Chain A
């Protein structure tokens, strides 16, 4: 049984159909990279998996259970699926520690002590043990993004979605965030990431998914997909990168 299973997902914004029947299985421990041109629907797909976009058609299953549109279903989905955003979206009025502690306390009703212990552990994991009392505006972009990762991890999701988590960063800060993602992958965390860092995708992922115009055009092991693109779309996408 897959951790998350998408079946025939359709999504439109008004007249514009952005997802045109997506089938995707996310297995426990898998690291998936989602690649494709700008506007191909990568972010929309990730947001769909997190319930941030409502779908027009299709089904989402989490651990074998269908996600309906009741509030409790969406909550269940979100407890299983964490998300890290391109723009970090930290809560500016809370310290790093409070950012990470908040939802375990509020949503999972953990005690303050319990939440603090988990938060400290997660912040240490992303290398920010010494920045816990800093507010987001006192942190660099790379540090903020690492707090955002810790914040998502503190909810103990089974899958973590990462939407271009390094795109908003200055080049010299990219690696510290990628290192954290790589570490998570090595520890066996299930990850789905949209990325333009092709080399990183190649090294870290066990599955590459190429999207084009709202469809999954090709998917498979990275070496294979890169070496022998079956469709001209992927061939030109890969060619355009070189």
Chain B
């Protein structure tokens, strides 16, 4: 125990926490892009595509994230694609995020009432103009708080990547515990760091929720 000070533990955890943040950001941004694409193909209206996206969403919502990562990490090599833990974690979390975000956003678009479509149509607007000026601006406003709120789930989800050997915060905690034999101290620090990342996000989401003005209720 003598060669590890508390600062050593914290310092090493902080280094690893950068990977947690990077993985979260990557998964969130890529997942957002994929989620937006899914949202667009889904609202475009082909019933087959809609069913396919629906199935995709249900698959990811109905299975543990850990299984999703296992399937990416151990499944891709079976079809001849070798993936590093980083790639596997990123890919798995991106898919996971896209499924949840597309579902959140679909709810936002659908929460814009029929009356908005009809009023804008009665004024002569076409579909593109309705989307551009009426539906999307409102849907985006409504979507921001739950989207920020969901980012907390992504951050916490990255912990699962430790199991396939990606060294982020949780994995680093395990490794440091094995060296220091001080699990309570180490995991206590790990928890504090997750909290310091997630809590501001939750607060921000709540703040945005409160600031949501001039939207249909």
List A residues 89-119 near B (Cβ within 8 Å). Answer: 89-93, 102-103, 106-108
B132 to A, closest residue via Cβ: A106
Q: Decide yes or no whether B125 CB sits under 8 A from chain A.
A: yes
For residue B118, which residues in chain A have a CB less than 8 angstroms away from its CB? 52, 85, 89
Q: Which of B116, B119, B126, B215 contacts A71 (CB 8 A)?
A: B126
Q: What is the bound-complex CA distance between A52 and B121, given in angstroms?
A: 8
For residue B214, which residues in chain A have a CB less than 8 angstroms away from its CB? 92-93, 135-137
CB distance from A202 to the nearest CB of B (A): 28
0 or 1 for each of B114-140: is its CB under 8 Å from A? (1 = yes) = 011011111111100100011001100
CB distance from A87 to the nearest CB of B (A): 6
Q: Decide yes or no whether B54 CB sits under 8 A from chain A.
A: no
CB distance from B208 to the nearest CB of A (A): 15
- Secondary structure call for the B interface: helix
What 15 new A-B contacts, CB under 8 Å, besides A92-B138, A103-B123?
A51-B121, A71-B126, A75-B126, A85-B115, A89-B119, A90-B119, A93-B137, A103-B125, A107-B124, A107-B129, A135-B214, A136-B214, A148-B119, A152-B122, A155-B123
Q: Decide yes or no whether B206 CB sits under 8 A from chain A.
A: no
B122 lies within 8 A of A83 (CB): yes
Q: Decide yes or no whether A195 CB sits under 8 A from chain B.
A: no
A106 lies within 8 A of B133 (CB): yes
The residues of B with any CB-CB pair to A shorter than 8 Å are: 113, 115-116, 118-126, 129, 133-134, 137-138, 141, 213-217
Q: Decide yes or no whether A190 CB sits under 8 A from chain B.
A: no
Task: Give the A interface residue count (CB, 8 A).
Answer: 28
**Of residues B141, B216, B217, which shows the largest number of chain A Cβ atoms within 10 Å of its Cβ?**
B216
The 6 A-B pairs of least Cβ separation, nearest first, read A89-B119, A103-B123, A89-B115, A107-B124, A83-B122, A135-B214
A152 lies within 8 A of B138 (CB): no
| Given A85-B118, A93-B138, A151-B123 contact (CB < 8 Å) | yes
Q: Which of A75, A79, A91, A93 contacts B119 (CB 8 A)?
A: A91
For residue A103, which residues in chain B have a CB less than 8 angstroms away from its CB? 120, 123-125
| Given A78-B121, A79-B124, A93-B115 contact (CB < 8 Å) | no
| Given A85-B115, A107-B129, A93-B123 contact (CB < 8 Å) | no
B118 to A, closest residue via Cβ: A52
A92 lies within 8 A of B215 (CB): yes
Q: What is the bound-complex CA distance between A80 and B134, given in angstroms?
A: 22
For residue A219, which residues in chain B have a CB less than 8 angstroms away from its CB? none
B213 lies within 8 A of A91 (CB): no
For residue B137, which residues in chain A have a CB less than 8 angstroms away from its CB? 93
CB distance from B193 to the nearest CB of A (A): 39
List A residues 180-220 near B (Cβ within 8 Å). Answer: none
B140 to A, closest residue via Cβ: A93
